[in-house]
Structure 1
Amino acid sequence: MTGIITRTRNAFRAFTRAFSGYDITGGSGRWPAAYALHAPITQQLAAGRLASRKISHQSENNSLIASIIQHAVTAIVADGPTVRAAHPDADINANLQRAWNSFFQDCSV
């Protein structure tokens, strides 16, 4: 009975190691799970390169991740800054604003 439990436990560990390559700290062998720095900024900077490569790979190969990133960028940046015409003549001001809105609706980064 003990042999079955040991083999099952070892198989589970091997399985989690094999499929945890996209987890920064979980079972990849690069960083043990108990590893921690006492300076969080230093820890973030140390993990940045590895995390960016893994996130880049996921965004290129996983449509859900790509969609999440695209929606996050859209939510953060939105349409960007815009201007409002301030000409003293009301007719010219309205024409300037219409022309700008027409341009701004079609322009893209």
Structure 2
Amino acid sequence: MSFRRITISVPEEIAAKAQRAADAGQVESVSAYFAGLAAAEPDWAQAQEILDQMIEEAAGLDDAARGWARSVLEAGDIDVLLVEKLRATVVTSDPHDLHKLDPALGLVVV
């Protein structure tokens, strides 16, 4: 694995938290602390590309489908990818939304 040096600015308390983790031996270094966080985070740009492709393959979405999904999850950051005979794939970044879904609707949450 190759490494590239970058410079980031973070709030002082976050920098102190990373340094405490390094000092305690929980991570190899402050850089390793942030690299671990970044590695654990989903690649949202790649996910958006995949979603866009799926929406295109489904011939787009109408406003009614988007409105229904937003009303079910009460969130502004979701998209219905495919709606077909009460089956839908719903994307949400908040796993707490899952309890709002009715399993009888046949929803698959990613």
TM-score range, shorter chain: under 0.3
- TM-score (norm: length of structure 1): 0.24
Higher-RCO chain (CA-CA 8 Å, sequence separation at least 6): 2
Q: Which has the larger radius of gyration?
A: 1
- Structure with the higher fraction of residues in helix conformation: 1
TM-score by length of structure 2 reads 0.23
